[in-house]
Structure 1
Amino acid sequence: MDPRSVAKYIEDAEHLQMAHRLYTLIFPLDRQANRVLLGMKKRGFGKNKYNGFGGKVEAHETIAAGAMRELHEESGLSARSLDKHGILFFYFEGDSVAMEVHVYVTGEYAGRAVETDEMRPEWFDMDGMPFEKMWADDPEWWPMVLEGKRFVGRFWFKNDMVTITRREVAPVDSLEFSG
């Protein structure tokens, strides 16, 4: 297992045996205007859904560095700081690899959001998220982001990548783990 993974602190024995891939998700916030920047995914996994910015963590980088890189690649923004809010695990029916997604927000960034080959950025009111055009799990943990809570979630999806068959989401005191 990737030494950067926190799965060994969270997963049960059955799911710990699965391969895990590390991903990031980052949400730029404009707290003064009460809005969040989302991107409409234009290709690949999650196409035609709004989401935060993110993707795979490269072998040579920290998880936080991966989040910052993905934000810049997908939106043109450069995060100056990150605040980790959650860790999500996703299991898709018939897939032997679990997704371990580290969720961040940033209120400190530079640049101007621009459309890229992968994402079309758009600002939304933080209380008016377009959940009908997002992943089905998002409404279950986004309120904790708004409340400033930390959380861990696990979601099991059917092959259709829409239907959630099982869910576990809970606030946690800390996202710092150690052996």
Structure 2
Amino acid sequence: MKKRIEATLIYLMDNDQVLMLERVKKQGDIHIGKWNGLGGKVELGESIKKCAIRELKEESGLSAEYFDFAGHITFPGFDKHGNDWSVYVFRAYGPSGEMIECDEGELSWVSRDDILSLNLWEGDKHFIPYVLSNKTFFGEFCYQSGELSSYTLDFADYLSGKDLN
């Protein structure tokens, strides 16, 4: 039975650097070989905010001084079970703590200018520029056989009642 899975995606920033994760460690990982922000599934009874804070700490060992909501993205039928993913995207600032080894891949601080040259999901190339430019967005990214087939991207600044019908 198909499910809706809620998750978070966090882009931790420190000056002109962003903490990114190259997914290279887990066998069968749908993201294998791709670069992502950090994040993961919301646990039962957990708020989106608490999930973002927990996932950042679990995957990197780091905490952030504050989080800023960047957007929301849906990925219909994204995983191998055909589940729909609902992902809340955050910018995080003011890292503190000691970075740990991540069991999902290799963590690296990447220059903001170099992120789009990484091996990203095709859809990420469309929304990451807005994460980095402090725009709030809503999107839907559809993939078929691992390839981006269509997407929509709207910005909170431009939503109005007539656009929502």
Give the TM-score of the pair, scaled to structure 1.
0.78
Query: Secondary structure of 2:66's partner?
Result: coil
1:165 aligns with 2:149: yes
Pick from 103, 108, 113 the counterpart of residue 99 of structure 2: 113
Q: What's the counterpart of residue 33 of structure 2? A: 48
Q: How does 1:138-177 map to 2 (within 5 A)?
A: 138-159=124-145, 161=146, 163-173=147-157
Q: 2-side partners of 1:21 and 1:110: how far apart?
A: 29
Which is further off, 116-125 or 54-63?
A: 116-125
CA distance in 1, matches of 2:116, 2:155: 23
Q: 1:174 to 1:117 in 2, by over 3 A?
A: farther
Q: CA deviation at 1:123?
A: 0.8
Structure 2 match to 1:28: 12
CA-to-aligned-CA distance 1:35-91 (integer Å, 9 cap, x gap): 101011121231221111001000121011111111111111122321110101012
2:148 maps to amino acid: I
Q: Which runs of 5+ in 1 are unaligned?
A: 1-17
**2:85 counterpart residue number:** 99
Counterpart contact for 2:13–2:95, Cα < 8 Å: no
Aligned equivalent of 2:109: 123
Q: Deviations over 1:72-114 (max 9, x none)?
A: 1111112232111010101237854210000001112311222
The percentage of counterpart residues that share the same residue type is: 32
Residue in structure 1 matched with residue 44 of structure 2 by the alignment: 59
SS at match of 2:121: coil
Contact 1:131 1:138 in 2 (8 A): no
Matched-pair contact (CA < 8 Å) for 1:39–1:51: yes
Unaligned runs of 5+ in 2: 160-165
